[in-house]
Amino acid sequence: MKPKQAKKLDPLPLILLVEDSQTTAALLSKYLGGTYRLLHVKDGQLAWDTLKQNPNISLVITDVNMPNMTGHQLLVKIRKSNEARHMNMPVVVMTTAEDNVDRNLAFLNGANDFINKPIDEMELVARVNVHYRLARTIRELEASKKALAEQATTDSLTKLKNRRAFFEAGAKALAMARRYMSDLSVILLDIDHFKAINDTFGHSVGDEALSVVADILMELSRTEDTVARVGGEEFAMLLPDTNRLGTAVLAERIRSAIEREQFVIGDKIHPMTASIGIASFGVDPAESIDQLLRVADSRLYLAKNAGRNRICVNDDGKTTFA
């Protein structure tokens, strides 16, 4: 019988303590050490560098008067950051009870709360607990919002962008191409005889075929490209700063990669191919991303009518590559 493995405990929440007094730092570590981990730095500049490097920090407790960068200057940097995790970071400022000037300035700079010196243990723990729980709730809500947004724009099977996301990205890319007179092309791809794969081997094998093609498209795409599943067995690629020749070269690489793929069903390798149509802004007549995709769609069907497993780059159907 195998021994039971010990359950891995989650690490304690991490607090960044910014304080140049070792005595005060030791006192806060004593008060908070059982519930939180404290990362101690002695000035605002070190605190800012640490915040940028450590994404696990949940809350900041800072003194006001410190060398190199004051607590006020640190607050300004945190609130003016372009990163949401910094802008929303709870910051508790330590001030003396009678120092209203520092207190008011800290409020103006974005402090969430204050703790009076000398530090009272019960007050400290209560205030830190409140702001940590609030920050955790905000992070969870933001994560849920992000997950919902991703679900709304992502194809659940292939994890590519969905049709809605493709057209949203396409509208923005077309506006940029018009503004800067730059190239923009689309690829529309359809898996050949996909219905036969589903009917013969079942939908689970068909789903596997879709995932294989999705992986090939992602592998051959750039960061700035948008790769989407726009129909049952149809995929589209949005290619900024890519002319018709460059698009044709990429389309042929994709077609060839799919043809070479060792698609195994049971113990046998089955061939899989795709037909591809392309269209390019500025060359083909299109005033919208929908019209550009329609041009690519018409060429996709020319490629299929010409025998499948090929690309088509114009409307005469003769310039095909296989």
Report yes or no: 297 and 277 within 8 Å, Cβ to Cβ: yes
266 sits in the region (left: phi over 0; alpha: psi -120 to 50; else beta) called left
The neighbour count for residue 52, using CB atoms within 10 Å, is 12
**CA distance to 275, 317, 318, per residue, from 321 (Å):** 10, 10, 9
Q: Which of 124, 123, 104, 103 is nearest to 38 (CA)?
A: 124
Query: Is 224 annotated as catalytic?
Result: no
Alpha helices in the chain (DSSP H): 22-32, 44-53, 71-79, 84-87, 100-109, 121-153, 163-180, 194-201, 203-220, 244-260, 289-305
Report yes or no: 70 and 44 within 8 Å, Cβ to Cβ: yes
Looking at residue 111, the DSSP 8-state letter turns out to be -
Catalytic residue among 98, 150, 224, 233: 233
Pairwise CA distance, residues 42 & 16, whole Å:
11
Contact partners, residue 300, CB within 8 Å, separation at least 6: 188, 189, 190, 275, 276, 277, 312
Report yes or no: 96 and 138 within 8 Å, Cβ to Cβ: no
Q: Which of 299, 309, 201, 180 is nearest to 244 (CA)?
A: 299
Q: Would you please indicate which residues are annotated as catalytic (active-site) residues?
A: 233
